[in-house]
Amino acid sequence: MKCPQCGSEMELDSHRKIPLMMCYNCGYIEGRNIGPTVKKKTNYEHLKSLNFNEMVAFLSRNLKLPEDRLADWLDDEAE
């Protein structure tokens, strides 16, 4: 039997009072409801959620620029 959540093979878990099929990969147990899947953020959505200081730190680290110069440039452009 295939797991409806992750698709791997389920095995019989006989350590319970009533043996159930269980997926040892993701932990799904036969008969349980599958909850809503959590949507992961895209990089663009993550950048939109950052405040100004976090964005400056992120960009300066990845672009290898000094934080103060980048912050001044971004602040000048906003005005």
pLDDT digits (tens, 9 = 90+) for 11-60: 888 877 888 888 888 888 887 776 666 677 887 888 888 898 888 888 88
CB 29 within 8 A of CB 20: yes
pLDDT(78) > 60: no
Threshold 0.75, pTM exceeds? no
Q: Which domain holds residue 9?
A: 1-32
Which residue, 22, 20, 19, 18, is CA-closest to 10? 22
Specify if 38 maps to a domain: no
Residues 50-75, mean pLDDT to the nearest whole number: 88
Domain count, the chain: 2
Instruction: Give the per-residue pLDDT at 38.
Output: 64
Do 28 and 48 reside in the same domain of the chain? no
Specify if 21 maps to a domain: yes
